[in-house]
Chains A and B, each alone.
Chain A
Amino acid sequence: MYCNKTYHLMKQNIEQLKQTASQVRRDIVRMVHGCQSGHPGGSLGCTDFLVALYFNIMNNDPSFNMDAKGEDLFFLSNGHISPVFYSVLAHAGYFDKSELGTFRKLNSRLQGHPTTHEGLPGVRIASGSLGQGLSVAIGAALAKRLNGDDSIVYTLHGDGELQEGQIWEAAMFAPHNKLDRLIATVDYNGQQIDGPTEMVLSLGNLKAKFEAFGWEVLEEPNGNDMASVVAVLEKAKSLTGKGKPIAILLKTGMGYGVDFMMGSHKWHGVAPNDEQLATALAQLEETLGDY
């Protein structure tokens, strides 16, 4: 058996998590503005989830070891929301937050979509081409099982990403092999590049679909309410080790926190101009200092 360690990343309470989330949202709009490219909408929508995960839920080590033996793991499958991922990693201590200013610029480790190629601590797989992250997470969970390591593997997926067939290959494999230390979260914001998901290609009853494959499914309608996000992740954790993988359908608002970006697919991949940046920052409290 592998001896699991406990890492002492400062565990934040709900109020602190909200403050961190506000700072992460400031980072997101500044990063995307800085290079005039990137994906602010989904990043803002997933901020509460990633902040809760890294600052309250996961047992992970910011000193970073690729093999991650004895620690929880997170895989970002929808790699285009890299701004929120990079900001959370920087604030968690994986690398210096001053590096956030290099996002999507030449010679940066912060590629438009995450990669291991540049050796950025905290990133264990490249993602961007959609649909591959659940398979990778399952592989990592299998390795943990072989290593006698009962840490948890977390993933995040876009709802539009579920249109990729590979997701369902993986969704079939995990319950068949009783991978029960796997928590996959779907960012259920109902938007994708070409419009509302239900217009582009309907996802149908996602809860019923995952359940039919053999998953335990949790639904969280308030994916931008910090206390609710922490609660659903705690609930998911309590369901691990019971023979089934766990899926969380997390309803979020694309662009949450910046009024003119909220709820519209138009801010999926568009950068704010100077004026829009100022408007956005005025809505987001600075709590930890900008990079």
Chain B
Amino acid sequence: MKKYTYTDKKDTRSGFGDGLLEAGKRNPEVVALCADLVGSLKMADFIKAFPERFFQTGIAEANMIGMAAGLTIGGKIPFTGTFANFSTGRVYDQIRQSVAYSDKNVKICASHAGLTLGEDGATHQILEDIGLMKMLPGMTVINPCDYNQTKAATIAIAEHHGPVYLRFGRPVVPIFTDADQKFEIGKAWMVNEGADVSIFATGHLVWEAIQAGEKLAEEGIDAEIINIHTIKPLDAEAVLKSVAKTGCVVTAEEHNRLGGLGDSIAQLLAVNNPTPQEYVAVNDSFGESGTPAQLMTKYGLDAEHIIAAAKKVMARKKQNS
């Protein structure tokens, strides 16, 4: 198992804020909108640098999405910011008609995705957003794993023409990717090559997958770990290549097991190479109040659950052979 260490921890949303500032410096057409959550979205530095290119929309998310669509008419590249729940479910029809169906170059940036809003509870958490966004034709869906990757993704989506959903979390998490990485939309990142089981993880679960991989290695299990930071378009080539080698799959995500990364991979495999698969995901449930760490454990999203899923799916593979 390749060794991953970290010296620093930071929230992924700060990666968004720093990436937005950098994207703004690189391209004068980049503008930002926020629905009364500037602090949460870490937009302050962008606003300070480019006050005329920032629009405070107030608590009016539907109007924010519509305005973002309008700003593209005139050549702007708008980034909208609010919590993931209000970025997707609350404004689904606005995104569907004014952004996706209208093919507008809007970047929908969502913080506090998944369970990580913690104590605020289920009304402010969302576990369905990946599914909602990936069902929209033409929408790119990205869920980066740490501060550096979120920053790189933010810069990359400004250079990509078309609607994008960028999802990140609230808590401080280890930084284990390179600061100067090249972020390629739709190209999965090989975290560790292995032969026994493929672990496809996204977002905060990539670090958990690395922890799981290290423990599995101690038990003589050689896990291949791949970071699927872009859920749509899915890197089918990387997934199929890995599965051809390992013959069994664990998918890990901070999302409802219905409609997320796991389902994207299951669908790909069902058509191309039916393979035993186990899901590490929230089992079709809403969240609840608690600290993020407590919730990750209660809902089965930590390294221990990835290890258990890996062993279970390897046993199924053996049974089938």
Contacts and interface: CB of A to CB of B under 8 A. Distances in A.
Given A135-B65, A139-B70, A143-B70, A125 B102 contact: yes
B67 A136 contact: yes
Contact of B70 (A127, A136, A165, A172): A136
Nearest to A134: B66
B60 interface: yes
A137 B53 CA distance: 17
A166 B97 CA distance: 14
A260 B221 CA distance: 79
Contact of A139 (B53, B66, B103): B66
B97 A139 contact: no
B74 A136 contact: no
B277 to A, nearest CB: 35
B195 interface: no
B52 interface: yes
Contact of A135 (B67, B75, B78, B104): B67
Contact of A73 (B71, B73, B101): B73
Given A116-B103, A132-B94, A132-B98, A139 B60 contact: no
B93 interface: yes
A135 B101 CA distance: 16
A46 interface: no
Given A67-B75, A68-B73, A125-B102, A146 B67 contact: no
Interface in A124-153: 124-129, 131-144, 146-147, 149
Given A116-B102, A117-B101, A173-B57, A124 B73 contact: yes
B73 A139 contact: yes
B62 interface: yes
A173 to B, nearest CB: 6
B63 A170 contact: yes
A115 interface: yes
Contacts of B101: 115-117, 126
Nearest to B96: A129
B94 A166 contact: yes
Nearest to A131: B62
B110 interface: no
A211 interface: no
Contacts of B68: 139
Given A129-B93, A146-B31, A172 B60 contact: yes
Residue of B53, B73, B98 ringed by the most chain A CB atoms within 10 A: B73
B176 interface: no
Nearest to B69: A136
A165 B73 contact: no
Contacts of B170: none
Given A69-B74, A147-B74, A142 B102 contact: no
Given A126-B101, A132-B66, A166-B66, A173 B58 contact: yes
B55 interface: yes
Given A146-B53, A172-B60, A138 B67 contact: yes
Interface string A163-182: 00110011011000100000
B255 interface: no
B66 A170 contact: yes
A228 B101 CA distance: 37
Nearest to A128: B97
A66 interface: yes
B67 A142 contact: yes
Contacts of A147: 74-75
B76 interface: yes
Contacts of A134: 66
Contact of B78 (A115, A133, A139, A170): A139
10 contacts: A125-B70, A129-B96, A135-B66, A136-B69, A136-B70, A137-B70, A142-B71, A143-B73, A169-B58, A173-B57
Interface of B: 31, 52-53, 55, 57-58, 60, 62-76, 78, 93-94, 96-98, 101-104
